[in-house]
């Protein structure tokens, strides 16, 4: 995995949007519909109020994780690893990188929403120290939504 580079990328970049579309297809397969209707814009991930990170291997984007300000917190969005890159510890590296980015921007806590049909994500977040919190954001009150937080 030493050949994998994690770097900031513009959310509007066509290669990033292609990876995001793959993420949304994965969510759609799990949950139906469009996968995630959360309103997101490229400006959400613009420093100093956010950042969008990608993992690059052989000039291909294979993972992503972004954060945007949500009050005093950083909200994790679009955490995703392609099927071909799974099982190599990359999601944990991406999570650590996005947490470091939010910490550097002065955020004190990372919050996130996930769903009950993403057991891999739930296991990752809980093993990384995230704990359940009351639901917030776009999917607050929806069945199957799980919200988590971790101090940074």
| Domains of the chain with bracketed CATH | 5-108 (3.40.630.30)
Separation of alpha carbons 97 and 25, rounded Å = 24
Separation of alpha carbons 17 and 11, rounded Å = 7
**CB 88, CB 124: distance < 8 Å:** no
Q: Mean pLDDT of residues grouped by 10 in the chain (152 residues)?
A: 88 94 80 70 94 96 96 94 94 98 97 91 97 90 92 98
Predicted TM-score (pTM) of the model is 0.92
Paired with 76 in beta bridges are 67
The rounded percent of the chain whose pLDDT value lies above 70 is: 95
């Amino acid at each position: 995995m030493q050949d994998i580079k994690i770097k900031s990328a513009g959310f509007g970049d066509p290669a990033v949007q292609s990876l995001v579309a793959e993420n949304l297809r994965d969510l759609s397969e799990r949950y139906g519909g469009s996968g995630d209707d959360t309103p997101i814009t490229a400006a959400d991930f613009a420093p100093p109020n956010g950042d969008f990170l990608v993992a690059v291997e052989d000039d291909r984007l294979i993972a992503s994780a972004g954060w945007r300000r949500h009050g005093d917190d950083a909200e994790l969005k679009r955490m995703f690893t392609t099927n071909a890159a799974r099982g190599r510890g990359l999601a944990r590296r991406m999570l650590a990188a996005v947490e470091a980015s939010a910490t550097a921007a002065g955020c004190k806590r990372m919050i996130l929403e996930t769903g009950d049909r993403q057991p891999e994500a739930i296991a990752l977040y809980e093993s990384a120290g995230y704990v359940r919190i009351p639901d917030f954001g776009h999917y607050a009150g929806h069945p199957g939504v799980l919200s988590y937080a971790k101090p940074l």
